[in-house]
Structure 1
């Protein structure tokens, strides 16, 4: 059993998966910042200054309604924080779309390679082309 586990753990797929998870965690941090710091403020302004992350519904009857989610949590009031859920859905949508684009491009590249097409190579700089022409001219004269 230990031998099977060692073979499984040392396969390239497991290592690839570990790298993917680490990169995914870092990518999640970037996406959260994109949503919370870049996308949500303009959306909030367009919607009249709303901040989705502070939308909540207190789950108690009577008493004062807290002014913010943090105030409700500090007071120990149970809340339904649906604004954070909205942000999480937006985060998920962005991550899913980014992964879709990456996988789509990889599939296009695999299809091109399977057809025998090489990926498009960049043209050499103009001075290299000129130097090659000069070299070829010198070879024919010499």
Structure 2
């Protein structure tokens, strides 16, 4: 039990928990933006293209409502809205990750002078250069 508590303290202190909390908060806010974008910006023009039909109201009725019985229906219009939400979110995440990977690739290239190369990559590049020189010297000695 003591190990578990120590691991949790290390996790919380190192910032992983804080980073995760910030990510969840930003994700929640981003979800609200996407919901408004889909419901108020994208779906109204789609409804106009389909003679004013609101997708959220579209459903396939399995059983009509009567006196004591509720209506049973499949709400496929809401599914369409959720799929559009998913498409927007996944595309946005793709663009952000692609953007981040582009910068990471530049940062890891030891010959790229635009971005500062991290120390560990720089040291590995220097080590590679030294090994190439050493191999050349050893080859020259053998000949």
Q: Shared fold (TM-score greater than 0.5)?
A: yes
- 1:12: which partner in 2? 15
Q: CA deviation at 1:13?
A: 2.5
Superposed displacement of residue 78, structure 1:
2.6
Q: What is the CA RMSD across the aligned residues, in angstroms?
A: 1.9
Aligned to 2:141: none
What is the correspondence of 1:1-142 to structure 2 with a 5 Å cutoff?
1-60=4-63, 76-115=70-109, 116-118=112-114
Any gaps of 5 or more consecutive residues in structure 2? 116-143
In 2, Cα distance between equivalents of 1:117 and 1:106? 18
Distance in 2 (CA, whole Å) between partners of 1:63 and 1:98 is 41
**CA distance, structure 2, for counterparts of residue 37 and residue 45 of structure 1:** 13
**Greater Cα offset, 14-23 or 34-43:** 14-23
Deviation per residue, 1:70-105 (Å, 9 max, x gap): xxxxx8323211111110010010011011101100
Q: TM-score, normalised by structure 2?
A: 0.68
Instruction: Note closer, same or farther for the CA distance 1:54–1:63 as it changes in structure 2 (3 Å cut).
Output: closer
CA–CA distance in structure 1, aligned partners of residues 28 and 113 of structure 2 = 34
SS in 1 for 2:80: helix
- Listed as ranges, the gaps of 5+ residues in structure 1 are 65-74, 120-142
Q: Would you say how many aligned residue pairs link Structure 1 and Structure 2?
A: 108
